[in-house]
Structure 1
Amino acid sequence: MLPSNLLITRKRKGRIKPVFAEITEENLGIAESIINLFSRCIGKRYSALLDEFQMLEESSAIDYRVIRSLFILLERRIIMEEPSHDPFLLRQTVFEIASYKPIISERDREMVFERSSAELGISKRELKENLWADEDPIIREFSPITPDELISLYNLSLLQTLLFKADLLEISLSNPDVLPLRNLLRELRFYGLMYDIWRSGDRINLTIDGPISVLKLTRKYGVAMARFIPSLLNVRGWSLRSRILDNKKIFEFQLGEEEFDRYHKKCVEEERIKPAFDSAVEENFYRQFNSLNTKWLLEREPGPLIKDSVVIFPDFCFIGYNRRIFMEIVGFWTREYIEKKIKKLELFPELIVCVNNELRCSPNFRLPSQLKNVIFYKRLIPLNEILNILKKYEAEELDRELKLIDNNFKRPTSPIVTVDELCSEMKVSKVAVKSFLQRGVEGYVFTGSLLVSRRLMDEISDKLDKLSGKATYAQALDVIGEFIPSKQEEIFDALGFTVDWRSLNVENSIIRRKANIKNDIMRS
């Protein structure tokens, strides 16, 4: 993006267009001259670069706004040398010593430098070189690009600068491939832009609220939108329309891929290393949620939600309890933007929307205090509120499954039935099966993971009663194993027996029945 006073546009009949620089010999020539100028000035003071650039600008017939824009774009590619000593501290010392008496002659001046360098413990040469090093630093490095890349970058910057004045940006994508579209929407979320998306035939349409549509954080939002624009250029078949506010008048701006390709080719600096997460908030939530012991699987960037023409690309999906609950994290927002999001919840009831209060772009306003599945937060997404919403879905699913079991459960004919078998047969969760069996099944005892006939439990109990006070724990489990192939410890506990441990050696243990426990167990 460029300073607004360097933006060159052409206006006609309510329309506005940036005056893009064509890739001509003249433009490539001035671009090459400026690039060479920066290369020559490595190791020189910044003031030397400015002096030479001023001479080049005065001798060129090209619009000064173009030349200064090229200079600014290249200026961002230089690295200045860090002063070896703090210039502010040096000046403070020099001015303090100079204040003791008037400086009349060159000798007086040199004396001040000598006394200052002695007090600072550095040489007089180092003092002079670093005294104003923060205002006129040395150029240490310059990362050059080719002339046509510089012209392309200039044209992209013109587009970004114009769109900084946008009220609304409308983008249309003709039959886009899924991967580029997903990457584009990921960039939208990364920069926290306010957008809406819908489908119309084979086209995907996007509207993005422009910087001048927000009343707060205008510059921050505008910079975010400018940084998003290069991502759009990676998607084939794009076109855009926008309303531009310029000098208190609204102009219409249109641009398509085919037209812009004449002025722009992709440059290396437009590539951004894609982070693993769209934001620190998203990463923090992902790591914290996965550290909890829940039965929900958290999936990042699931597929789109589509209903009629409305499309939503959520950030997360919670998978569990035969449900898929989605979550979207909102970046910048206004009252109108949030109201539209809330309205979409009617179409997608299993969507959670998390809104960052610190990115509000409109004045304070009141929304209903209780909004289903809408969470306002500062800094970090509150895990407790997410878990409370998920618990409601868990309860809903449990009620549904319990009704299903109530309507379809048949008393078993086998003396032993596992919870896993019932889950598989009835297509319900373990939680639902266990909740149902804990209510009691006539003629059976539920031990935790097994449903065992009371007759079989009585038979095992009688065997163990005869061994009470005599057999070891290992022997008791062997007896149970003659009747039940697994979960012997569970049966032992359910029958009301306990173990007296006389040492850590299992052979030195003795089983006994807990007092008055048999009748209670058998009546349950």
Structure 2
Amino acid sequence: MLPTDLLMHRFNGEELVPKRLTLDQQTLAIAADLIGLFQAAKGCSKGSLSQQLLELEGEETDYRLKRGLAHLLNGSFSTFETVSPLDPPMLRDRVFALSAEAVPSLAATQRTIATIADVLTQEFGHEVLTEQVESGLYADLPDNQILMNFDAPTPEALLHRYNLSQVQGVFYRASHLTINAHRNDPGQYKLLFRYVKLFQLMTYIEGDADHGFTLTIDGPTSLFKPSTRYGLAIAKLLPALLHVTKWSISAQLHLNDSYSGKSRQGRFALDSECGLVSHYPPGKTYDSMLEAGFVERWSKTKTPWRLEREVDLIPIPGSVMIPDFRVVHPDGRTFLLEIVGYWRPEYLKKKFSQVRQSGRDDLVLAVSERLNLEKAGVKIADTPARIVWFKDQLLPKTVLEVLDR
């Protein structure tokens, strides 16, 4: 993402409009030049690369655009590493301690470095050159780190990332957000809720998979003490939201006016027709081979029960539970199916605790016989859900027997 000083926006009344680049010949050429510069700088220091970027900016008025693109290339596509034959902090400790014993001068510095080289040669059992001491002394400073790898994006991908980053920057100063995720493919909801949980956002969720969900999120400026870290977490949610087919978002903003120096209120709105492109990978179709195999076998049965993937959200105090499947009968009966095949005790405790807190009487748990529930402190008799046991494969027949019972 972009730092605040590289964000560009304008106001249309109270509506904030972030900078968006068109993918025309001119902007694509700028992006290509910057990508080429990074490719040529492989093996060079970050300081040298920064100097080349300044020269590329020149006296042009679009320097903030170029700096923004370079910032993204630096942070998202480049790998800088410390390259030194000797440990820099160790060298500084040795050199500074010895230097304190002499009057500062060029000659004293050279003697100190030569002495350190001799001492290290004796300690390591191989020759340490004075040049190695000099080059390694500050090799770990950011400007001296070396560009070791550059995963070059296409110019189009870089411009898409820039446009997304400009919009993400809007949420740094949000005081309140509302996301409406309309009727979508059920698996998309699970991906969205996972990211909400991953970024630890204070979210109130309402709705259901048949009609859609409304997520109300407190922004960073609504906290007792505004948090830049929390604002960044909200901004990181946007690429995940782009994987949802139909959605809209509205935000109330608390901004500082750069001209008057006063704070002002603003608004921002966006929807699924925005044209932004996510760089987050799409969610997996299934969480495991176990789920995928179960779905494949179910499709071969002749049962009237219909299997739907991840369509219900069960509110749990302080969390949510998203069962793997919903099973629907033409006569209106429905059940939720959750597969419990993961063995870690912490996971099992949490999963069975969620089941108890859900208060649902339509939940079916498919539990692997290989799990050591006793070791995890789980008492299956206290679980208010129908239980289906399985070994290596979960068979539709065993689930259907429970549903029809």
Q: What TM bracket, shorter-length normalisation?
A: 0.5 to 0.7
CA shift, 1:138, in A, is 1.8
Higher relative contact order (CA 8 A, sep 6+): 2
Partner residue in 2 for 1:140: 148
| Structural mapping, 1:66-215, within 5 Å | 66-76=65-75, 77-82=77-82, 83-105=84-106, 107-121=107-121, 122-135=128-141, 136-193=144-201, 194-198=203-207, 202-215=211-224
Structure 1 residue 172: deviation in Å? 2.5
Q: Aligned ranges for residues 308-457 of structure 1 at < 5 Å? A: 314-315=321-322, 350=359, 391=382
The 1:197/1:103 distance shift into structure 2, 3 A limit, reads same
1:188–1:228 CA contact under 8 A, matched in 2 = yes
Describe the SS at the equivalent of 1:222: helix
Residue 216 of structure 1 deviates from its aligned partner by 6.2
Deviation at 1:27, TM superposition (A): 1.6
d(CA) in 1 for partners of 2:207, 2:265: 26
Corresponding position: 1:29 with 2:29: yes
Distance 1:191 1:266 in 2: 17
Q: Is the 8 A contact 1:169 1:241 kept in 2?
A: yes
Cα pair distance change 1:241/1:44, threshold 3 Å: same
Measured at CA, do residues 201 and 14 of structure 1 come closer, stay the same or move farther in structure 2, by a change above 3 Å?
farther
Give yes or no for contact 2:174–2:219 (8 Å, CA) kept in 1. yes
Evaluate the alpha carbon distance shift between residue 276 and residue 137 of structure 1 in structure 2; reply closer, same or farther with a 3 A threshold.
farther
Residue pairs, 1:480-519, within 5 angstroms: none
Counterpart of 2:197 in 1: which secondary structure? Answer: helix
Q: Describe the shift of the 1:165–1:104 C-alpha distance in structure 2 as closer, same or farther (beyond 3 A).
A: closer
Deviation at 1:276, TM superposition (A): 9.8
Shift of residue 185, structure 1, vs aligned partner: 2.5
- Name the amino acid aligned to 2:264: K
- Residue matched to 2:239: 230
- Residues in 2 aligned to 1:9 and 1:325: alpha-carbon distance in whole angstroms: 47
3-state SS, counterpart of residue 119 of structure 2: helix
**Displacement, 1:349?**
6.6
CA shift digits 1:423-463 (9 cap, x unpaired): x9xx99xxxxxxxxxxxxxxxxxxxxxxxxxxxxxxxxxxx
Give distance in 2, aligned partners of 1:200 and 1:89. Answer: 58
Q: Does 1:255 align with 2:270?
A: yes
Q: Which residue of 2 aligns with 1:4?
A: 4
Structure 1 alignment gaps of length 5 or more: 278-300, 318-322, 327-347, 352-382, 398-423, 429-524
Partner of 1:221: 230
TM-score by length of 2: 0.65
Stretches of structure 2 that go unaligned for 5 or more consecutive residues are 122-127, 257-262, 288-308, 325-334, 339-356, 361-375, 387-400
Kept after mapping to 1: 8 A contact 2:240/2:278: no
Pair 198,84 (structure 1): closer, same or farther in 2 beyond 3 Å: same
User: How many positions carry a matched residue from both structures?
Assistant: 311
Between the aligned residues of both structures, percent identity stands at 25
Give the counterpart of 1:265 among 255, 268, 277.
Answer: 277
Greater Rg over alpha carbons, structure:
1
Inter-CA distance 219–387: structure 2 relative to 1 (3 Å threshold): farther
Query: Closer, same or farther in 2 for the Cα pair 1:200/1:126, shift >3 Å?
Result: closer
Any idea what the Cα deviations from partners look like across 1:290-329, whole Å, max 9, x if unmatched? xxxxxxxxxxx9641589xxxx951469xxxxx9899xxx
Contact 1:304–1:313 (CA<8 Å) still a contact in 2?
no
Q: What is the one-letter code of the residue matched to 2:245?
A: R
In structure 2, the partner of 1:45 is 45
Return the letter of the residue paired with 1:271.
P
> Quick check: 1:242 aligned with 2:251?
yes
Deviations 1:121-144 (A, max 9, x none): 221121111111011112211111
Query: Residue 242 of structure 1: SS of its match in structure 2?
Result: strand
Pairwise CA RMSD: 3.9
Q: Secondary structure at the match of 1:109?
A: helix
Over residues 364-403 of structure 1, what are the superposed CA-to-partner deviations in whole Å (9 max), with x where a residue is unaligned? xxxxxxxxxxxxxxxxxxx87x869x84959xx9xxxxxx
